[in-house]
Structure 1
Amino acid sequence: MAPNSELKNLIAQFSSVPKVSGVDLTGRNVIVTGGSGGLGLESALVFAKLNPARLIITARSLESGGKAVEQIFKATGYRCETWVLNLMDLKSVEAFATKAKTELERLDVLLSNAGVAATQYIVSAHGYESGCQVNNISNSLLCLLLLPLLIQTATLPPPIGSKSPKFTPRITIVSSVLHYKVKTLPVLGAGEEGRTLELMSEKKRFSNDTYQDTKAINLLNAQTLISLLPPVKDGNPTVLINTVDPGFCDTGILRTASGFFRIGVAIATALVARTAEAGARNLVYASLKETSQGAYIATCKEQEAGDFVIGEKGRQVGAMIWEEMKSIWMKEGIVYLFM
């Protein structure tokens, strides 16, 4: 059984999160989704200091992304780029991936950080609740569409001048410790096949539990992505895919909360929240260190994921959700390499 408890989580909040050192990104390309603020911006600030060839942060508008670019430049002297990505729109995801595959000869790190912790019921144009749309349907599509570029990167020689020649291209997906508390997903997953996300998106089911369900799906989708990779050679994966929990951080992700919930969030933030910079150290660790394939990272250490996620029932539900997402992508006419 995965070791997890409220006390363990509280203690972890006060644990020291080490800074990552000894990694050089010279000649390598990095994409950080949701890089205009919070954990994404703090992660990008670290990457900028490691001399990447190109560092691309995504934002929902060029204006917000441009402000982050200037902030990073003032802090590090490195001029990164901002590309528009709206995860509520699958066509935006497709356009972003096409641009990346056209402009980039290599992609060494995809930090899939952008996400929402919805406190209000909002439905995308595709008919899905915003958490399901952003955290799962769109994020998984982006990873899938960029996976061939990451695989291609693994066949390339180390960049000239790199001080870290042995570096595995990777996808790091930001999840949450709350995936241990998944409640609704196991019940819905036991129902009608192919409708889990559809059922999760019904207004009557919307609650604070929705977020933890989407974070559990992050881990399940990571395992499916791993299954699509070429066979391992010499014990080394072609592309490393892991998930990470930043901990409870003061990032403003729950800024739309209201009522007593908002008061509770404010009190918890004041008492136990990590800074965004400290939380981002977990993301940077998972993005740069050679972890185990499929590792779940928390406090810069590999941890055992939740029982549902690693169990047979979770694998079955994960496979059903992936098939459901494929039908959603295909309905939008989006073509991808892996079926």
Structure 2
Amino acid sequence: MLGQPKVSPLPSDIDLSGKTAVVTGASGGLGLETARQLLQLKCSTMVLAVRKVSKGEACAKELREDPSIEANHPTIKVLQVDAERYDSIQAFTKTLKEEVPKVDILILNAGINRFNFERSPSGHEATVQVNYLSNVLLLVELLPYLETSAERSGSPTRVTWVGSRMHDLGEGLSKKPPTGPILEYMDSAETFAKFTRYGDSKLLCAIFVFSLAPRLDSKKVILNLVCPGMVSTNLESDLPQPLRFLVVILKVMRARTVEVGGWLILNAALVAGENSQGKHLGDKEILKKSKYLQSETGLKVQKKLWDETMVEMKKLATLPSEFH
């Protein structure tokens, strides 16, 4: 069937008064809509984490003037972060910890889908840098702060990472895992596969969450992933024109609105319980791990990715105990 299952709105009794939320990639699409819905639920402080501050400020103005939000008089801050750069992640997390007393909800939404091989300033392939490595560094830098936030608020800080079912599609890593170092393989122009790179980057995210979550105290931090399905956003903007046209046509026939996508992200962040710790939600259901991820090969890849990623993170930050 071409369409996607219908999705019900969020429960009507959610009240986020006194809560602080951070949304990355918040200057458009799912990020902006998720921020809007959080504010409609009376979130008191919203941090829009954006690459272009001018665009972020325009979004903040739009949100402040939204009739469904303005009566609540929220504080809306705009902080700059460029997920292609490690130093920008470090500057962002430093500023956040200095200027925002606590964070109750963190939505890791920023992502790209590059069709051509490009390197980030760190030397890593850009899609892997933005979708995976920079999010890992962000968690490394923020985890003690998120745990302290939970102690202050008396409830777990919620971290929801926007993932994708595409991590298990096609002939990507889940079908042909590398025999050597994973990050080195992902950084090679020779092994770059344009049609599976986005899904492969999301596979790295899922594997990392599966590794980190068991190390977390669920009374302090609940970390999960969610795939909101195909949503009408501009994620395909980096694709070549002919392919972009095909994706747009498919979205017209099949895609959910950003409003529905926002419901699904916030269901994972606000409604899903402690049992969602370390789980991947597809729409509102917890997805079963693929046979590959449960296999001996998949478990070896999971350990190898964790070890390689920690070597990378040690170059950049002091690792909290959960990452040892």
| TM exceeding 0.5 | yes
Match of 1:228 among 197, 215, 233: 215
- Name the amino acid aligned to 2:137: L
**1:56-92 Cα distance to aligned partner (Å, 9 max, x none):** 0111021011111111112121441110011100111
| Superposition deviation, residue 278 in structure 1 | 1.3
**1:7-30 Cα distance to aligned partner (Å, 9 max, x none):** 5xx45x242343343222222211
| Superposition deviation, residue 177 in structure 1 | 1.4
| Superposition deviation, residue 218 in structure 1 | 1.2
Q: 1:335 is matched with which residue?
A: 318
| Superposition deviation, residue 33 in structure 1 | 0.5
Aligned to 2:7, what secondary structure does the other structure show? Answer: coil
| Superposition deviation, residue 261 in structure 1 | 1.6
Contact 1:282 1:297 in 2 (8 A): no
Q: 1:172 is matched with which residue?
A: 160
**1:249-289 Cα distance to aligned partner (Å, 9 max, x none):** 11101112114322321211111111112112111111111
Q: 1:38 is matched with which residue?
A: 29
Mapped to 1, the partners of 2:115 and 2:15 lie a distance apart of 39
Contact 2:84 2:121 in 1 (8 A): yes
Mapped to 2, the partners of 1:190 and 1:130 lie a distance apart of 19
Q: 1:303 is matched with which residue?
A: 287
| 1:288 aligned onto 2:270 | yes
Q: 1:161 is matched with which residue?
A: none
Q: Where do 1:107-146 residues align within 5 Å?
A: 107-146=103-142
| 1:264 aligned onto 2:246 | yes
TM-score (structure 1 length as normaliser): 0.86
Match of 2:196 among 209, 213, 219: 209
| Superposition deviation, residue 298 in structure 1 | 2.0
Runs of 5+ in structure 1 lacking a partner? Answer: 1-6, 159-166, 231-235
Q: 2:306 is matched with which residue?
A: 322
| 1:88 aligned onto 2:84 | yes
Comparing 30-39 with 258-267, which one deviates more in the overlay? 258-267
| Superposition deviation, residue 38 in structure 1 | 0.5
Mapped to 1, the partners of 2:239 and 2:126 lie a distance apart of 15
Q: 1:98 is matched with which residue?
A: 94
Contact 2:172 2:199 in 1 (8 A): no
Q: 1:240 is matched with which residue?
A: 222
Do the aligned partners of residues 157 and 70 (structure 1) sit closer, same or farther apart at CA in structure 2, a change above 3 Å counting?
A: closer
**1:192-226 Cα distance to aligned partner (Å, 9 max, x none):** 1xx21221222232211111111111111112221
Do the aligned partners of residues 290 and 186 (structure 1) sit closer, same or farther apart at CA in structure 2, a change above 3 Å counting?
A: closer
Aligned to 1:111, what secondary structure does the other structure show? Answer: strand
If asked which structure has higher relative contact order (CA below 8 Å, sep 6+), I would say: 1
| Superposition deviation, residue 155 in structure 1 | 2.1
Match of 1:61 among 52, 60, 68: 52
Do the aligned partners of residues 285 and 311 (structure 1) sit closer, same or farther apart at CA in structure 2, a change above 3 Å counting?
A: farther
Q: Between the two proteins, what is the percent identity of the paired residues?
A: 27
Aligned to 1:205, what secondary structure does the other structure show? Answer: coil
- Name the amino acid aligned to 2:81: L
Comparing 309-318 with 72-81, which one deviates more in the overlay? 309-318
Aligned to 1:184, what secondary structure does the other structure show? Answer: coil
Contact 1:15 1:299 in 2 (8 A): no
Contact 2:132 2:204 in 1 (8 A): yes
